[in-house]
Amino acid sequence: MGEEPMHIRPFCPADEPAIIALWQQCGLTRPWNDPHRDIERKLRVQAHMFLIGEVEGRLAGSVMAGYEGHRGWINYLAVSPAHQGKGYGRVLMEHAERLLREGGCPKINLQIRSTNTDVIAFYRKLGYGMDDVVSMGKRLEDDQGPAFHPRPAVPSALELRLSEHRLTIDGFTTHAGRISGSQWQTPRAPGKWTPAQETAHLMLVYATFAATLCGGPPRELRVPAERALELQRTVLPGILDGKGFPTGARAPAETAPPDDPGDLGVLLPQLRAAAEDFEKALVSAYAASPNARIVHPYFGPLGLEDLLGLLTAHTCHHTGFLPATQPEPTR
């Protein structure tokens, strides 16, 4: 294993450019497989099995697992060239195997090019063996050139945002649920929040916006109105496009967590409930008035789709602050 631990988390939409660059570095992309479409398809099916590996806060690996009820499959296992040979590929596979095992998968199948002897040797070390089978395939959708096959109807922007939001909440709670008791109350750095406080902060954010959506008082601006419009114009688009949050932004007092918010077993269900209540309130508000706007403390009045996208990015942002966890030992 490398000197620095690998932090494993579910894929977030903001990861897409870096993930595709990683796959290209590792020689995994092919002209007949559009990686953007591969990601789009995966996010519609068992998105929680699309895992990202980070080392020292930088994206360093990926693995895409799936289970169709009979066999499990592994795709896009990648470790950046700078981090290869340090055991990170094994770590990614351990997490993927655990997810498949938890889903009831009895066996994992792989497809490896016969000339890729290094990869074959890697999987042999993990206990995989050769099966006496012939691999066959039939393409149902052409990824090459402009003449694509007809695609299914694309869901509305709000439905896509809801799907991304649920994926992000699942990623946060799944990762947080594996944090040890000692880590739960340990700040990630001096003066920073503990995982318990990160969770409580997210819960408070969802609760305050849900209350506003349900007819409660609007949030108060924390900056002058002109500054809020400037931030909405210059900073918000980058956040919604996955470029992250600016450093140094402080949480408003009403969403700042207490010093000891509580136990993991209590807070995580509360966070899920708060996120679900927020979604219900937002969908109800959208049905009543699709053009409604809700005040954000720093960005001012936002449309409902942008508000949902912002809170999704916000939860993804705080997922990155959770400590690395180790997979459960294989029995």
What are the tens digits of pLDDT across the range 220-256? 999 999 999 999 999 999 999 888 888 777 888 899 9
- Order the strands of the 6-10 sheet from edge to edge: 6-10, 50-55, 58-67, 72-79, 108-109
Angle made by CA atoms 160, 163, 169, in degrees to the nearest 5: 140
What are the tens digits of pLDDT across the range 130-157? 988 888 878 777 666 544 444 444 446 7
Question: Nearest to residue 52, comparing CAs of 71, 79, 72, 25?
Answer: 79
pLDDT of 331 reads 42
Phi and psi of 44, rounded to 5°? -95, -15
Ranges of each domain in the chain: 6-125, 159-319
Q: Which CATH architecture has domain 159-319?
A: Up-down Bundle (1.20)
Separation CA 98–CA 102 (nearest Å): 6
Instruction: Tally Cβ neighbours within 10 Å of residue 27.
Output: 10
The answer to whether the pTM exceeds 0.75 is no
Question: Nearest to residue 254, comparing CAs of 304, 217, 292?
Answer: 217
CATH of domain 6-125: 3.40.630.30
Per the rule left: phi > 0, alpha: psi between -120 and 50, beta: everything else, 300 is left
